[in-house]
Amino acid sequence: MFTVNSGLIGRLGIPSQALANRTALVTGGARGIGEAVAATMAALGAQIVIVDILPLGQSVVDAIVKEGGAAHFIQCDLSDVDDLMSMLPRAVSAFGQIDILINDALHSSMSPIVDLSLEEWEKTFATNARAPFLTIKHLLPAMLERQSGVIVNVIAYEGTPLAAAYGATKMALRSMAVGTAREIGNDAGVSVFSFLPGIVDTPLIRDVILPQAIATMGITEAEVLPIIAHNPGYDGLMPVDHCATALAYTIVHAPEYHGQVADPFEPLDRIGVIQMPRIDPGTATEDGVDVSGPLSGLYIKQYLSDVTSLNKQLENRIDLRTREVEQARRRSEQLLLSILPSPIAERLEHGEVMIADHFDDVTVLFADIVGFTPLSSGLPPQRVVELLDAVFSEFDQIAARYELEKIKTIGDCYMAVGGVPEPQENHADRVANAALEMVPALVQLGRRMDLPLSLRIGMNSGGVVAGVIGRQKFIYDLWGDTVNTASRMESHGLGNRIQCTQSVRERLGNRYIFESRGDVEIKGKGMMPTFFLNGVS
């Protein structure tokens, strides 16, 4: 049975319980890489579900449990769709959910393509490609819903002689992983990647592949190994514990490999377990690297590994920078929206320099706390700010409820408008309803804060000019006689009353209850008929 390489786990810096409270489904986990990575993940705290056609999988589970781990075995022929689909719900229910999926099951036979039967091809495809597709299709939605999960497709070298069907289906898994990763994006919380293990010292290699290759090619094991064992940094086959521990490392660091092709060589080379061959500048021709020598495979592997690593670094940097730019854009947009109405902010973002609009018919409201200056003089500064924040926050909620545009606050005065920046047919009704809520809201707030608060409100309807002024600090403001008169309605009003002009009275009609105040001397306007708005009819 496989022995976990605890020393290598430590050298790779993997925390002892890195996979605690996570459940891993390992297909093809009865022996070889699948058995080794299952045991390694169990040692890191994961619960393991082994799926294999061989009953030997139960022995793997027994060994994990003996070491204090948790594991469950399901015997299944993954090439049989019905068997596969009945296995999946049992795998999920074993420990409640699947957090990690490792598609490691394989079917392979060494044969020239011309001698490969259709039946053998279909068996290879069903096990190596269709089964991972169905498994991912079934388990991915729950991972996306939880925003957590790892999916690893174990692939193989492309173009190995006598293994065309095996190589083709395994390379299909690489494309499947890349496509799935791009479909779900980088922010889904789920990492999907391929793992290229190299040629590992497993029972499949020793008991199946080598004998078939020897028989087919008519050469000795010593002659076959250099042909099939392309392992940079190794003289021959890779030890299975090296491969399994490196695979566990990539799972622990899965977000770094999302959408990529991981391999065991890079992390093992980094900590000095192996030494990857480096291209000697003397071996390079003026047109590039000489790939015709005996080390050509290793050179290509190193070159591709370096390119992949660089691409991954660049992609990560681009992704990080894109996120930073997007976050900065959102912060800027939110800041702009906190100052300007949304339609106005959009116009500025689209390049308008001067924004100035005329609105023929709007309703303007001014609300002022009566006696605020003497009241605030007797309060600590913090208490004054708390009071104004509470008042204006309440008014903001009321204004938002009636889709009014808050223009600004000036000291203890609150200014809002209906019909700007988007025209509203019932702007006067909206402002009237908001005013009728503001007065009792302030009174109730005064009771809660134990302060004698009362409110004067003034309203007027008519045409205004609206626009943005400022270059460093923007402000959206209104101008015109309608604004000035609304302000006079407030300043010449009475506590806890809503004073309106004749124009407001005419727009609201009999839908509201008014009380005539008669003619009132208004600064800058002379005598004007005004009305108190008392309620809704």
Instruction: Kindly state the average pLDDT of the residues 293-298.
Output: 43
**What are the pLDDT digits (tens) for 8-20?**
999 999 999 999 9
Cα distances from 121 to residues 105, 115, 117, 128, in angstroms, run: 16, 11, 6, 10
Q: Which residue would you say has higher pLDDT here, 504 or 234?
A: 504
pLDDT for 309: 57
| Weakest mean pLDDT among 46-55, 82-91, 457-466, 471-480 | 471-480
The answer, yes or no, to whether the previous bond of 423 is cis (omega within 30 of 0) is: no
pLDDT for 279: 54
Q: Where are the domains of the chain?
A: 15-272, 281-339, 353-536
Q: Is the pLDDT of residue 508 over 90?
A: yes
CB neighbour class for 477 (10 Å; exposed up to 12, middle 13-18, buried from 19) = middle
**Dist. CA 289–CA 284, nearest whole Å:** 4
Domain covering 353-536 in this structure, CATH number: 3.30.70.1230
Closest CA to 508 of 430, 402, 434, 400: 430
Q: Is the pLDDT of residue 296 over 50?
A: no
The half-sphere exposure of 24 on its side-chain side, counting CA atoms within 13 A, is: 34
Tokens of 148: 């957590």
Q: Which residue would you say has higher pLDDT here, 275 or 82?
A: 82
pLDDT for 306: 56
Q: In the CATH hierarchy, which top-level class contains the domain 15-272?
A: alpha beta
pLDDT for 324: 77
Closest CA to 156 of 115, 118, 111, 108: 108
Q: 144 falls in which pLDDT band (50, 70, 90)?
A: very high
pTM of the complete model: 0.57
- What's the distance, CA 212 to chain centroid? 48
pLDDT for 295: 42
**Dist. CA 15–CA 18, nearest whole Å:** 5
Residue recorded with tokens 């068997």: 83
Who's near 162: CB < 8 A, 6+ residues apart? 110, 111, 112, 212, 213, 216, 217
